[in-house]
Structure 1
Amino acid sequence: MEIGRLRVLREFADRGSVTSAARALHCTPSAVSQQLRALQAEVGLQLTEPAGRGLRLTDAGRALVASADEVLAALDRAEAELDTYRSEPRGRVRVAIFPSAALMLLPGLLHRLAGFPALDLEVRDVDMTPSEVPSLIADFDIVVTHRDEQADPFPTERLEVVHLLREPLDVALPPGHRLAGQDRVELTELAGERWIGVNVGFPVDDVLRSLAVRTGVRPRLVHRINDFRVIEALVSAGHGIALLPRYTMSPSMLSRPLAGLRAARHVEAVLRTGTAGRPAVMAVLEALHAESAALVEVG
């Protein structure tokens, strides 16, 4: 089987449509369709079938994608073996990172990688939900993401998941709040409060929802804002309370842990299988680990 056609098949599987695959491969949709037809003829099996106005993989197609992952990962490992003959990690590493993780990890990460002049780190902040992570892998070598610790882990069939840190979520309170004198607060004590949350589908909202299910206390959400610094400003001005990540929160904020409940998000690095074998990618992962460990130690 021709390697280029396997790459086309994988792009189609990752992106879900011929048009999206063509855009990623910088070619026309007809060229992608032609490559898929040629691959089908080569293997003698139907790899795609009509689905509405587009195409979807058949069972044989999905099986070949899994095998293609292994073949292409083997090629990546071969390239990585060659990289080990060089004196230092080199080349471009593309990283997607959600904004609050960028706030707490990115400055230190860049300092740690400054000692690798041949490593070209390209970072983009992406306000992602967990469901969007697999599609981001098509464009990035490493996706730094987060999820509610009560949520299912990411599937590992085609992904490698590296745990970076567990970040507790605390209740941010306005100055002079009636519960400020307590070391911890019960969720039931906050039943009548005005809550400022994040958009539906994002991990902090998932945590708040799971807490509501476990305790029977349903928070009254008055605003949904994804920028934690804006939420902090509103809480400090007395416009409500919020559930915020402990290490990301400004030190000046008044905050208290929840009593009797475990509330946290997991921060993880997600990669396509085989990618971590590249020395440059491994250097970035090690720097992410070191920065996360330093953050938890200080926090």
Structure 2
Amino acid sequence: MEVHQLQILRELGDLGSVRAVAEAMFVTPSAVSQQLALLQRGVDVPLTRKEGRTLVLTDAGRILANAGAAVIASMADARAAIGNYQNDADAPVTLAGFHSVGQSLFAPLLARLKEAGGPQPLFSDEDVAQHDFPALASRYDLVLAHRMDHTPPWPEHQVVVLPLAHEPLDIAVPVGHRLAGRTAVEPADLVGERWVVSREGYSPADILAAVAAVSGGAPQIIHRINDYATVATLVSTGNVLGVIPRYTAGASVGHGVVLLPLEGIANRRRIDLLARPESMRRASVRRVAEALRATMADRATG
């Protein structure tokens, strides 16, 4: 039995005729009769009987109609509870981010939200390969994700995508390196260099693979490190070069490292906010998403 069928049965008991029920519910009398017939198929005892030309409830029908009224009231309470939950602009919001974006955005985002009076974000770090980001939306309200321009787009049938930034990845060289005084570098300038780079499936490794493809020189990868602060420290020793995102990790570069723009290949990654459609119906989630947009804009222009 369906809730709307119980509603029709209840209205029949209160209003006394199929025509009156149809008028009250803005449907045809035949639609009312059809739904009553469908409800009757699932019950072993008669729910209605004819009195002359009028259809009325039996004792069993009245019992079910009263029980249906309780169900309808409970459903109304449930809808109200969901409505309150979705409209609560201060409800906590779970947010996952990869390491570099967490280091650069979590603290200023928290300060921005505190100044605005909420809501409370609940942070987690999730540094996964690009194709694994959409699945995180099942565990978190919002997911900060990144992908290179040439990689497949996010599955928009699965997640809502809110673009935040189009971030260049720069070449990190030690102070005193032969390239340190340049304003930019190209793939041919990097042939023969030794590297510290991320694991496969992450943006820096993709950039270095593109550099190798264009220059024709196989890179000498010495270290596989995903943490950009560690990458910068290793670059500062003078033994390796690295690949570091400009907006989200540039602050981790110390005085011994120079970041150089890379020209001649596509070297930008998209930083996007992913969420399931039902999560974006919540007012507090939308507030955090807007605050994230403003915080990332500050980073990109600062």
Of 283, 288, 294, 1:279 maps to 283
For residues 207 and 187 of structure 2, the distance between their equivalents in structure 1, rounded to whole angstroms, comes to: 13
For residues 153 and 81 of structure 2, the distance between their equivalents in structure 1, rounded to whole angstroms, comes to: 30
TM-score of the two chains, using structure 1 as the length reference = 0.69
Largest Rg, 1 or 2: 2
For residues 117 and 211 of structure 1, the distance between their equivalents in structure 2, rounded to whole angstroms, comes to: 46
Report how many residues are paired.
223
For residues 79 and 150 of structure 2, the distance between their equivalents in structure 1, rounded to whole angstroms, comes to: 34
Question: In the alignment, which residue of structure 2 is the partner of 1:102?
Answer: 102
Question: In the alignment, which residue of structure 2 is the partner of 1:242?
Answer: 242
1:249 to 1:91, Cα distance in 2 relative to 1, 3 A: same
TM-score of the two chains, using structure 2 as the length reference = 0.68
1:191 to 1:78, Cα distance in 2 relative to 1, 3 A: farther
Q: How does 1:170-249 map to 2 (within 5 A)?
A: 170-247=170-247, 248-249=249-250
Gaps of 5+ in 2: 3-77
Deviation at 1:289?
Answer: 0.3
1:111 to 1:153, Cα distance in 2 relative to 1, 3 A: same
Deviation at 1:119?
Answer: 2.2
1:151 to 1:106, Cα distance in 2 relative to 1, 3 A: same
For residues 191 and 139 of structure 2, the distance between their equivalents in structure 1, rounded to whole angstroms, comes to: 43
Q: Contact conserved, 2:87 with 2:283, CA < 8 A, in 1?
A: no
Q: How does 1:4-19 map to 2 (within 5 A)?
A: none
For residues 136 and 121 of structure 2, the distance between their equivalents in structure 1, rounded to whole angstroms, comes to: 17
1:265 to 1:78, Cα distance in 2 relative to 1, 3 A: farther
Deviation at 1:127?
Answer: 1.2
1:126 to 1:77, Cα distance in 2 relative to 1, 3 A: farther
Note the alpha carbon deviations across 1:176-235, whole angstroms, 9 max, x for none. Answer: 001122211121111111011001111221222233334433322111011110110010
Note the alpha carbon deviations across 1:63-115, whole angstroms, 9 max, x for none. Answer: xxxxxxxxxxxxx99877545766xx121211110010011111110011104
Identical positions, percent: 34
1:77 to 1:254, Cα distance in 2 relative to 1, 3 A: farther
Paired amino acid for 2:236: S
Paired amino acid for 2:250: M
For residues 257 and 77 of structure 1, the distance between their equivalents in structure 2, rounded to whole angstroms, comes to: 53
For residues 165 and 184 of structure 2, the distance between their equivalents in structure 1, rounded to whole angstroms, comes to: 22
1:85 to 1:224, Cα distance in 2 relative to 1, 3 A: closer
Paired amino acid for 2:266: R
Paired amino acid for 1:164: L
